[in-house]
Structure 1
């Protein structure tokens, strides 16, 4: 089977392949960043809001971690008329829509808790196999740019639908005007299905062509009996850096309300996400282009250094404008880091075990997100001791994690023989 050529994967084709990222990440980030915090403010005690939010996020991530590895192994071995990935992508999306109905009807925190576990499981039924598509279909010479477009799709979905959701949930007015919650969920669901359709069509049209790496039902023979020997070191590095990144996403709303002192933090967060998200997108694209030419690790280290410096700088931000400017630099650095790190993850994969490999890689992503959620009780404790001091401690911790994550990557080799 011939390797796909540069011309078969234009930028537009790579955008279509990664379209599902717009849908799934638009849904997940809008729910996690806007909808769930707003509902937690309604359903949870004020003094324990960070703790309840942490419990909601952590339990869902634990479910996600198990599902991704199991589904990844199943997907690698699946043979069907739709191939190895598309059946899971479509089935997961359909079940997520069922869960969205449960969010709208949940009258208590614990019912919301159960619904979120169900949704998290099905997010990862679809997302795990989706993550293997770059290894399945895209040549190594385009892995960096393909990874950049994957991050761009995530950012576009996140930025657009966090903004849309923040506007609609702002009109929800903390319990009144229930129709705005349903409108928010409806928009997220439509976006998810459209994105799933675009990616599925792209995969189905490519996997039968002779210029794809794998034809329909043709599972490559593994080059190694196991996963990459330095994968554990890569996972620890990724875990640390993702923890730092997810802290901003998880506690951003409460940071703006409690530390900066905004009266309308939901709307302010939506406006800020537009600017910062644009910086992430620019950083991701440039990182993909450079990493295909100079290698993955130099670009990752540059992103980690920029994120460290910017995170420390935001400690001295004294206004919303200063926060926005510094957060823009953080966004650019994070985009650089995520894009090149994802390309490195793809390079370390084992043929025939693509979805399993990416499922294991995503365990580090999930662990990072879970670790960020676990910090909630500590934030509440420090805030009670000294107002807003918990948020300062979070930022210092983020800077340390970026540094440690970069150092751990220094000895990692992508070539199995060198590792």
Structure 2
């Protein structure tokens, strides 16, 4: 596709993002917290939620870049990317069934045998298995999908195409979720219906992609072996996980030590909060920089700006994704909202409405006035929205915070992705954009993996306090993300 694309071309190329984000938009902020709260005790639910997410995202960090790399070499007559999208979706349907079956294990005979031995319910174990497998299959498809936009969209149109992508990622899924009443269904325990809706969304968007997006088959497969790059991906994941878990250990040790000292609650908040901020930012910088160097290999020094782009993206996504992930618990524990799943979906819809305008305008402006300027502005706006959550003691104030976060996130998602596509080698887009999965999977590992235990620690000292501490930390991550942009050149400049 060398000529100017029409609006429906951009929609077809990006439509599978709609299915993926209907799935993520239901599971991450609504379904998963609901099931975790159903399966584990209240004083451990944030940590338990973090555990499910971290285990699944470790798998995502492995699978997505490998799938992207393999799709770069795929010579199927259906094209490089679409076969991965097809088979990944088929497996998604199977693994969604496992998640749907998990509540049936509550109080089962198997639960009676495993609960004393493992210390957790069988239903929780089944949920973990289903989520880990779903992450594997979903990222098998998504790793290939990452390369579809840069494959088919000319460089001067990627800003607007990324804007369409951002709308399909957040706005349309949120409107569909609220329109079909997913929140009340979750509150009513209709898990089978909810997972069926997710599966249908993935299946429909997959069929549109496979049948109506036309790729040219790869004429010549690269001669290079994939063995060394695959080993690098494994090493990259191991490095990032070890660094993040080391940071989590630091937070655990520090908070445990302070709990034994005779110091005020305010000082504990300041010290553990600062420790959490250092742990998150430190693990992001060290994990991405060391891991990406291993994943890219000896070409890494030539692509320093790409590594900084991944760091910038990870900082932002760690903050916004974790705020989204803990929103249901915040609404139920702090604001004491009944039917919190319903309120969470309403909040997501409000965010989405304002994100839509921001994403579309941001996509066009990115092609005209510079992408870095818009990304930096988006980070400042999102930080303001996160700080406002610290004083949001009512639903209207939470909604206003959501509006601000939506505006910032929309501008970021539209503009940052376009900035990244300009930084990768054209013949290795799947590999490099797959490495950017550090910013997707790594965001949850850092933000939720460290934030969940911090929330539980402070909630035990004072109910609801933990959410305020982690929201303040996430606001700080937005600010640090803005500062990292000085290391990323505008497109066309030397790295």
* Superposed CA offset, 1:292-331 (max 9, x none): 1111101101111111122212222231111112211111
Larger Rg, first or second structure (1 or 2): 2
Q: Does the aligned pair in 2 maintain the 1:27–1:161 contact within 8 Å? A: no
Asked if the contact 2:370–2:490 (Cα under 8 Å) also holds between the matched residues in 1, the reply is: no
1:328 has 2:372 as partner:
no
1:184-333 alignment runs, 5 A limit: 184-204=194-214, 207=215, 215-218=216-219, 226=299, 228-333=303-408
Shift of 1:200: 2.1
Query: Which of 392, 402, 409 matches 2:468?
Result: 392
Residue 67 (structure 2) pairs with residue 75 (structure 1): no
The residue number in structure 1 matching 2:137 is: 122
Residue 109 of structure 1 deviates from its aligned partner by 0.6
Whole-Å separation in 1 of the counterparts to 2:48 and 2:418: 35
How far off its partner does 1:157 sit? 4.8
Corresponding position of 1:51: 47
Using the TM superposition, give the Cα deviation of residue 112 of structure 1 relative to its aligned residue in structure 2, in angstroms. 1.3
* Alignment partner of 1:381 is 2:434: no
Q: Contact 2:308 / 2:487 at 8 angstroms: preserved in 1?
A: no
Contact 1:17 1:198 in 2 (8 A): no
Aligned-pair distance for 1:98?
0.5
Secondary structure (helix, strand or coil) at the match of 1:369 reads helix
CA displacement at 1:44 relative to structure 2: 1.1
- What residue in structure 2 maps to residue 4 of structure 1? 2
Query: How far apart, CA to CA, are the structure 1 residues paired with 2:389 and 2:53?
Result: 25
Asked if the contact 1:99–1:119 (Cα under 8 Å) also holds between the matched residues in 2, the reply is yes
The unaligned stretches of length 5 or more in structure 2 are 106-122, 224-295
In 2, Cα distance between equivalents of 1:188 and 1:161? 11
Deviation at 1:197, TM superposition (A): 1.2
Deviation, structure 1 residue 265: 1.1
Q: Aligned residues, how many?
A: 398
Match of 2:489 in 1: 413
Partner-residue secondary structure (3-state), 1:18: helix
Matched residue SS, 2:487: coil
193, 198, 221: which one pairs with 1:183?
Answer: 193
Residues 30-66 of structure 1: CA distance to partner in whole angstroms, max 9, x if unpaired? 1222111111111111211111110000100000000
Query: Given that residues 220 and 351 in structure 1 are in contact (C-alpha distance below 8 angstroms), is that contact kept between their aligned partners in structure 2?
Result: no
CA distance in 1, matches of 2:468, 2:208: 42
- TM-score under structure 1 length normalisation: 0.91
Q: Would you say the 8 A contact 2:332–2:340 is kept in 1?
A: yes
CA distance 1:302–1:219, change in 2 (3 Å): farther
**For residues 318 and 396 of structure 2, what CA distance do their matches in structure 1 show?**
25
- Cα offset, 1:103, TM superposition: 1.2
**What is residue 258 of structure 2 aligned with on the other side?**
none
1:360 Cα deviation after fit = 0.8
Aligned mates of 1:190, 1:372 — CA distance in 2:
30
| Whole-angstrom CA distance in 2 between matches of 1:37 and 1:70 | 29
SS of the counterpart of 1:366? helix
Cα distance, 1:201 vs structure 2: 2.4
The structural deviation recorded for 1:416 is: 7.3
Deviation, 1:81, is 1.0
Q: What pairs up with 1:152-167 in 2 under 5 angstroms?
A: 152-160=167-175, 162-163=177-178, 164-167=181-184
For the 8 Å contact 2:166–2:414, the answer to whether it is kept is yes
Offset of residue 29 of structure 1: 2.3
- Give deviations 1:134-165, integer Å, cap 9, x for gaps: 11000111110111111111113541454342
Structure 1 gaps, min length 5: 173-179, 208-214
Scaled by the length of structure 2, the TM-score of the pair is 0.77
How far does the alpha carbon of each residue in 1:243-263 deviate from its partner, in whole angstroms, 9 at most, with x for none? 111122110001111122212
Residues 226, 303 of structure 1: alpha-carbon distance in 2 compared, 3 angstrom cutoff: same
- 5 Å-filtered alignment, 1:107-118, equals 107=105, 108-118=123-133
CA RMSD of aligned residues (A): 1.9
What are the Cα deviations for residues 339-365 of structure 1, in whole angstroms up to 9, with x where unaligned? Answer: 111111111121111111111112122
CA contact (8 A) 2:454 2:470 kept: no
SS at match of 2:389: helix
Residue 340 (structure 1) aligns with:
415
2 CA distance for matches of 1:371 and 1:162? Answer: 27
